[in-house]
Structure 1
Amino acid sequence: MKKVIISIVFIFIVGVLAACGTSGGSTSKDDERTITLGYFPNINHVPAMVAKSEGIYKEKVGDNVTIEYKTFPDGASFMTALKTGEIEAGLVGPGPAMNNYTTGTDVKILAGGSTGGTVTVARKDSGIESIEDLKGKTFITPRVGCTHDVQFETFMKEHGITSERTGGEMVHTTGKPAQYQAMFESGKVDVAVAPEPWGSVLQMETGAKVIVAPDEVSFGETLPASVLVTSGDMIKNDKELIQQIVEAHKEAITFINENEEKAKDITIADIKENTGQELSKEVIDSAWNNIGFSYDVSAEEVQAFGDSSYELKFLKEQPDFSNLIDTQFID
């Protein structure tokens, strides 16, 4: 009798160990699992909103995979989530992806998401009428060294004006884009480097003036304003899933370009859900004019952007992004 009991216990233990041993690798089509995808509540991230709303991610990955979504106010929090495994993939600005890559983060850019959308506006009563008036003024971006920050400071450096961080006169602060309107109305900041639709919100709701347009700011028309990223470990262990996510991303971008009005409705609803702010159709129409949607990504432009980040002292060492981009899933 004792031999029978020992045999049963042994078989049970072996079965448990075998089950535990499969958790770190790729998952078969019959296994149930949950993945989380991240994005920001702004127009540069509409591909994620559309893929979510239209069920495109779900269609591509299959019924055995449950998809959850998480939104982020800035690239730093997104990249922390990617590093800790809180999310498996998602859309983020290229700046945070590059910055984290240089410090050893396991991140890979899979595709572009959008272009443009960085608007620099001055508060109505700030006294700012031109670029030259920005000396000594306070400007706000979502985060130090974020994509919009690098674009703006690169542009200003070319005009001989820099921030206090590099010995200049402009004062820099940071905050969530959805809060910029309140900061303008309180007079706490003079200039906002805002991702759309928040740039259009400031223009329409506060009378803010555009100082640097999206097609004028550095890298405004050439660098992806958002990129689809994952980890190298995910590519290694679950290549099929990553291919499915990229295919959904590409299909979402096609949907946006072919169904503009429907995509705008999805954007309004998603931003309201995640920020509590219901943007008008007029704001979305204005913002839409400042942005494009494409999954293309140029390694040369990414490297040029990184070089500028280094020159502005956002990066401590000259970056090499030759292994940051993995386009095998869109080619």
Structure 2
Amino acid sequence: MLSDPQAVTSHALEHFAALRNRHPELPPAWGLGVCIPTAVDFRDGTLIAPATARTGGASDTLMWTGFPLRQQLTQQLNLPVWLDDEVNVMALAAAKRIGAPQDLLYVRLSLGLGMGIVSHGKVHRGAAAASGEIAHIQMAGSGGRACRCGRRGCLETTLSGGAMEDAAVTPQALKRSPYLRRLDESSGIRCEHVFHGAAEGDPVCVRLLTEAADRLSVVLAVLTTTYNPGEVVLGGGVTQAGEFFSRAVGQALRRRVLPATSERLRVRMGKEDDALNGACRMVTDWLLSPHVMHVWLPHGSPAGVQELVTHRRQDA
């Protein structure tokens, strides 16, 4: 169950204050970059949850929809704040890497599933800020499982860390894997355990990640053939699986596309700190953009500049 958005915001503000107090010698912060694992309307930084009353989504998801997270942070911190979907800032981090192609796809596989798109070196968000929502594509062969968005048969119900957790606690999996059985008897199994187990060669975890790679390659075959990116980056919690997962996805993907699509396509693992790096790059890119810089430059710093703090739009 998701935590109450107001409680999460208060907790984050407490941590930010503690960080400031711990390092009083540092200069004041100029801005804050925030990412959250759900769709964000980048125009004003409001949240767009995949579940709606119309689709019958869970109430804990619904309470985040439209929550003014950015507005609350700017008011409390008196700082300009930029907020985006976590996978978009991860894609931005990958796009800023030295030697990165101008067009790439970033797939985040953690407890949930998401995708960020970079086109001509910039994050592509689409007309409704909903580009990359591959988690909620309805798939044949999903068994009609209920999804957190309120519908049934979405890709995320069979391809996500949550789906792997469910598969890892079946009697068959626990019987074949002493590693998972020990975890289940002690603290319980989380998707990170499955990722780590695959890196260590546990046969059940390897099978679960191999099946996930095959399912993901079906969707990526369509996307890479259509979009023809130079790189597919795999990040999130699955980075704990190491290069095993990128090799499995790459092999499965190349079986499904023409050589013309795959010959210049690289599939690689992302970094564990892509979200942090991407959030920092998001802030610096906007603060140093000409139309924002001219607002704060006369003040010497963007901190506390009311035009930036109270401005409803974050994309202008």
Fold similarity call, TM over 0.5: no
- TM-score norm. by structure 1 comes to 0.27
Structure with greater contact order relative to length (CA < 8 Å, sep ≥ 6):
1
- TM-score norm. by structure 2 comes to 0.28
Question: Which one has a bigger Cα radius of gyration?
Answer: 1
* Between structures 1 and 2, the one with greater strand share: 1
